[in-house]
Amino acid sequence: MSKPLLEIRDLNVSFGTKDKPLCVVNDVSFSINPGEAIGVVGESGSGKSMTALSILQLVPTPPARVTGQVYFDGKDLLQLSNSELTSIRGKEIGFIFQEPMSSLNPVMTIGDQIDEAIMLHTDLSADARRVKVLELLRLVGMPDPETRIDVYPDQFSGGMRQRVVIAIAMACNPKLLIADEPTTALDVTIQAQVLDMMLDIRKQYNSAIMLITHDLGVVAEFCERVIVMYAGHILEDADINSLFASPKHPYTQGLLKSVLTLTEKQHRLYQIQGSVPPPGTIKEGCPFRPRCPVRMDRCAVEMPPMKSYGPTHVAACWATAEGVE
Amino acid sequence: MTRYILFRLLDAIPTVFLVLTLVFIAMRILPGDPALTALGPLADQAQLAIFRERMGLNDPLWLQYLKFLWDAVHLDFGTSLINDVPVRDLIIRNLPHTAYLTIVSVLMGLTVGIPLGVLAATNRNKPADHIVRLYSLIGYAIPDFYLAAVLLVVFSLKLGWFPINGAGHGFWDGLYHIILPAMTLALLKSAFLGRLTRTSLLEVLGRDFVRTARAKGASETRVVYKHGLRNALLPLSTGIGISILATLSGAVAIELIFNRPGIGRLLIDAIHERDYPVIQAGVMMFAFFVVIVNFIMDLVYVLVDPRIRMKS
Ligand SMILES: Nc1ncnc2c1ncn2[C@@H]1O[C@H](COP(=O)(O)OP(=O)(O)OP(=O)(O)O)[C@@H](O)[C@H]1O
Ligand SMILES: [Mg+2]
């Protein structure tokens, strides 16, 4: 197997005080190979965004505290100084955010904002950069780029703004693209369009992608591997086929069941009972325990370790490990 | 853009009329007889009659109002009762001094205040931030006349670094004379602007597009100045407008204490001497100053915020 492009080890993110920490990301470890497309799924508040932002040290510290290691190209990104980070952010790793309406500077033209990403990482002349910006605008499907290039963001719809954000993220042909629910905030009608476009570009550029989403259907269509997160923990990490064929964690099973009932047009939607516990409420054991249909006594005491179910499939569940289905 | 400026200018006309009308009404509803108020209790009937005739106080009110407007539009403010000079000349002689004081103190206040605010915002809750906040607090608490007196005593009387009074002659001498008075106002302004910069920059730096800029690989300096400060200028320009207007009340104290010519000084002297036409003109000047500053601030908004520019 090739060397991973990104390797996260024991990532922890917490808020609150030192004595009373609120952990929102707990001992998260996973890796991404060059060119690989990996999906991260989980309910709201499961720590997906915090994990993604930690990679580039974009979580404001304080108030947050981030520990662990994030190896990228042999360097631990969490140890880098701000100036060392600037040569990786936007160049090696591109980032697309959840909120297109507020992710662009309102007093800068979209052309200047894309141009900035190129200017910061290359020696191209202003003219050459403008050509490149137009090229990128065409690439992300911006109609009439020659006039749009000098327009301010508030003249654009959410979909168009997200295209600009994607152009910024792809400007320097990054090795890794982190997309945090890039289409959740958009109109349903254009979600698919923008997503298709983005994933198409990343294929052309051969970038690896970490795609955070709520939508298992999207994951099934575009990703090679899935990471399932819950309350700051990774519960399952598997390749697509293995995960959809035989999910190992009861939470993943629940997620899949709710999607399947949808597609089969049943009258009643399957729902996982209960809701995600707020951070800090579950201190020991498995966080999914209160909602779990197969919970055991042991689950209350000890967080289950990752157990392997094949070459590319791990899950953290006591019940599954002991063969209870 | 030109249309926007024209529109704003037209917009100012009703305000100017309102101001003129208010000044007119204010001067008429002053308690007692204006002639008596102006000339004082020692004036005899003949003097009062002459005064009334000269000021047109015997005409019907509507005619007085029209005359008043007509004169004001022609910048004719009558003649000083004390030394028989046209009020217009007095204004022309004094206005540049107040304008100079305003401009120099605002520039000084901005050059000190904005970097202080940036320093505080980028070092939030660290020593630099605490020091700047303490400075702002003190700046808020000290009255301008008190600070003026202290600076005058220390730097002019004790150390002899600066002249004690007057406005000087010629450019360099004028500059030498204005440093201390302008510094007094600038210190207070920088305290206000520093605090304002800190608040609005902190607000801006928490917004999503700042994170986008960081994710692009922009350095912290670039993030703060290019993305942060540029956006913080929008709320900040309102504060700058307020602080320019605050120069007016400041100018009265400063011009008195440093014994400088100026509109504030002119007005205070006129009030002491009951120089009715000069008071009226002085009040009008202050009111117009407000209108003009507001107009300039509107233009600044357009320069700072492209969104307004696009809409017009
Ligand atoms: N500044 C903060 N202070 C305290 N807690 C925070 C802060 N920011 C985020 N959190 C908490 O961190 C947890 C994880 O948040 P995160 O944004 O990573 O979730 P997410 O999985 O991305 O959810 P979503 O799908 O809604 O985007 C949440 O419970 C949230 O309340
Ligand atoms: Mg999120």
Query: How many residue pairs bridge chain A and chain B with CB atoms within 8 Å of each other?
Result: 77
Can you tell me whether residue A284 is helix, strand or coil? Answer: coil
Measured at the alpha carbon of residue B288, what is the angle toward residues B282 and B292, in degrees to the nearest 5? 145
CA distances from B127 to A18, A248, B120, B123, B132 (A): 22, 53, 9, 8, 9
Judge whether A264 and A278 are in contact, CB under 8 Å: no
Measured at the alpha carbon of residue B29, what is the angle toward residues B23 and B35, in degrees to the nearest 5? 95
- What's residue B81's pLDDT? 75
Cis check for the bond before A62: say yes or no (omega within 30 of 0).
Answer: yes
**Residue B78 clears pLDDT 70, i.e. is over it:** yes
**Which atom of ligand 1 is nearest to A232's Cα?**
14
Q: What is the pLDDT along chain A (325 residues), one digit of tens a residue?
A: 568 899 999 999 988 777 777 888 989 999 999 989 999 998 888 899 999 999 999 988 778 889 999 999 889 999 988 889 999 999 999 999 988 889 999 999 999 999 999 999 999 999 999 999 999 998 888 889 999 999 999 888 888 898 899 999 999 889 999 999 888 877 788 888 888 888 888 888 889 999 999 888 888 888 999 999 998 899 999 999 888 888 888 888 888 887 765 555 555 556 777 777 777 676 778 888 888 888 888 888 888 888 888 888 888 888 777 775 4
Judge whether A48 and A59 are in contact, CB under 8 Å: no
Nearest CA, atom 29, ligand 1: A45
Q: Tokens standing for B282?
A: 């002085």
Among all ligands shown, which has an atom nearest to the Cα of A42? 1
Can you tell me whether residue A102 is helix, strand or coil? Answer: coil
Nearest CA, atom 2, ligand 1: A15
User: What is the average pLDDT across B172-186?
Assistant: 85
CB of B207 less than 8 A from some CB of A? yes
* Average pLDDT value for chain B: 85
**Which atom of ligand 1 is nearest to A13's Cα?**
12
Cis check for the bond before A63: say yes or no (omega within 30 of 0).
Answer: yes
Q: pLDDT over 90 for what percent of chain B?
A: 23
- Residue A247 phi/psi, 5° resolution? -65, 140
Judge whether B97 and B260 are in contact, CB under 8 Å: yes
**Residue B155 clears pLDDT 90, i.e. is over it:** no
Judge whether B211 and A100 are in contact, CB under 8 Å: no
Residue type for position B177: H
DSSP assignment of A124-149 = --HHHHHHHHHHHHHHTT-SSHHHHT
pLDDT band at B171 (very low <50, low <70, confident <90, very high): confident
**Residue B121 clears pLDDT 60, i.e. is over it:** yes
Shortest distance between the Cα of B214 and any Cα of chain A, in A, equals 7
* pLDDT tens digits, B198-249: 999 999 998 999 999 999 999 999 999 999 998 998 888 888 888 888 877 7
- Restricting to A residues 58-117, those with a Cβ less than 8 Å away from any Cβ of B are 58, 82-83, 85-91, 94-95, 97, 99, 102-109, 116-117
CB of A241 less than 8 A from some CB of B? no
CB of A129 less than 8 A from some CB of B? no
**Residue B312 clears pLDDT 90, i.e. is over it:** no
* pLDDT tens digits, B83-118: 788 988 999 999 889 988 988 999 999 999 999 999
Closest CB from B209, B211, B230 relative to A58 = B211
Distance A288 CA to ligand 1 centre (A): 17
Can you tell me whether residue A288 is helix, strand or coil? Answer: coil
Q: Choose among B42, B161, B285, B227: nearest CA to A153.
A: B227
Q: Kindly report the number of other CB atoms within 10 A of residue A150's CB atom.
A: 10
* pLDDT tens digits, B255-297: 888 888 998 889 888 888 777 788 888 888 888 888 888 888 8
- What's residue B310's pLDDT? 64
Mind listing the domains of chain B with CATH numbers?
Answer: 2-73 (no CATH), 91-311 (1.10.3720.10)
Judge whether A15 and A21 are in contact, CB under 8 Å: yes
Judge whether B181 and B165 are in contact, CB under 8 Å: no
- Restricting to A residues 267-306, those with a Cβ less than 8 Å away from any Cβ of B are none
